[in-house]
Structure formats: C-alpha cells, structure tokens
Amino acid sequence: MKITYTADAQMLLRDFLQRQNISKKSLSAIKQNGALLVNEVPVTVRYMLAQGEQVTVCLPAEQPSRSLRPSAGRLTIIYEDNYLCVVSKPAGISTMPSQLHPHDSLLERTLHHFIENKETGIPHIVTRLDRNTSGIVVFAKHQLIHHLMTDSITKTYLCAACGKIPAAGMIDCPIGRKSDSIIERHITADGKQALTTFIALHRSNDYSVALVKLHTGRTHQIRVHFQAIGHPLAGDTLYGHDTRLARQALHAFQIEFVHPFTEVSIILQDAPPEDLRSLIPML
C-alpha cells in the first residue's frame, strides 16, 4: 500500500512525515519493512525536501492474527477506497471474535473480502458496535491509517426508547463497570466521563425515537445513559425490561469525518434494518 504527499515547503523528510501525523513507531516500521521515496527515488528520513516534491510512503505488508478465520458470510459495503472500508453490520453479528462467539465476526468477513481483493493490509477496527447493535462500522486498511482515524469520527445513532423522552437533552454522567459483572455498566462517581446528546424525532407515552450523538466512547454508553434518565431502550433486557424487539433498538445511522489523505469531508448513512422499521412505523 502506498500513500503519496506533496511537499509544501523545504524541510527534512522526517519533519514532514511527523507533520502528517506519522508516529515514530509507524516510521520505524516503514523504515524496516516499507520504503520512503521522493520523486520515485529511495531516500532516508534525513533527505532535505524541496517544495513541490512528491513523497511516497510504502507501508509494510501486514499479516492477520492466526486466530482469525476468514469468513465468506454476507458483507454489505457502504464505502470503500484504498484506505478505508465502511460496512453495515447486522444485529446478531459480533464486530470481532469473542470467547462466546469465536468466528464469523464482521472483522473476519471483512478480512475475507480483503483477501479476495488482494489487499496488502488487514482490517483494523476504527469503530466498534455491540453484537446486537446494527449499523455503520469503519475498518482501516492498515495500522497507520487506523492511527490517523482515531478520534476523528462524529457518530450519530438512531434509537427507540421506552416512554416519552424530553424533546432534546444532554446526558453527562460517568460510566463504570459494575463490580459484580464483566458485561454490565452503570452510572458511578468513579467511572469515566461520558457525554451523550440527543434530539427527539418522535415522542409518545409508549415510546420515543431519537437521534443520538456520542461525544465519548464508553461501553454501552447510550444504553446506560438512557436508562439513567428513566427511558431504557426498547428491547434492551440488560438495562430494562422491554421485550417488544429481540435486541436493543439501537442503530449506528451516520458517520462524519474528514478523510485523512484526500481531506474531503465524508458523510455516510445506513438505513435502519427491517426489525427497527417494523417496530417504529415512522421509519
């Protein structure tokens, strides 16, 4: 995999690459197993760049973990280029292998897609969803790209909550793991800071529909926060008692980010799946 830049000033190549947010660790890996080219000629990081010269970073090839088993299961791709692969995750599929669900994860389906298309990188999870949450998941095609995508994505979720929620709101409550559970989280003073904002699209005494933005990325954040305001998600039997849906009514609906290489602003959406549309007629 190659990444190409154009030098915008005279400077050492090492300093130029640091300005592109290429870490010392990544640069070390590139020097060992990749290559640095200026105008297609191999150089070292001590090369003095001139304005307008073309810099090519050849990323080292990656090998997937031996524990991964590429899966030919269905994969719905929303967006793909040389650097990213954005897919729609169905509910009931794990983002990555776990002890309870060791294979046929979304990661392994994406790895199979990469192998079929002779990608030199391997999928790295940028955004992760719970097994029973549906919607957009972003994979980077190399560890360096994953590093450049960290904390750069704005995520918007669609959810259905029990009862009538406020028209809009902000939930700023720290979240930590319950001492007697390896899965369940709760609001606790010694938890990690967590911030969620939402705006209602529909409100009734039976259920409400909201667009939700995460400003932090805590485990089960939306589920815990909506439980905290007295409106657990429909179908969420871990944080509530509603059983009108076979899973929590939560869908990663939209992502926004600036592409790390093209610098183009990208907005991607994923329509809610059939089970949510059946539960919520307005969808």
Q: Which helix (H) or strand (E) holds 58?
A: strand 54-58
Residue appearing with tokens 């967590």: 194
Residue 17, token pair as written in the block: 């690459």
For residue 210, what is the enclosing H or E element?
A: strand 207-214
Is 130 assigned a catalytic role? yes
Q: Where are the beta strands (DSSP E) in 141-194?
A: 154-162, 168-172, 175-177, 185-187
Query: Within 13 Å and on the Cβ side, how many CA atoms surround 55?
Result: 27
The whole-angstrom separation of Cα 168 and Cα 245 is 24
Q: Length of the chain in residues, anyone?
A: 283
Contact yes or no for 72/31 (Cβ under 8 A): no
- Given 130, 236, 242, 270, the catalytic residue: 130
Q: What is the CA radius of gyration of the chain?
A: 22
Rounded CA gap, 143 and 124, in Å?
7
DSSP conformation class of 183: S
Cβ atoms 153, 256 nearer than 8 A:
yes
Active site residues: 130
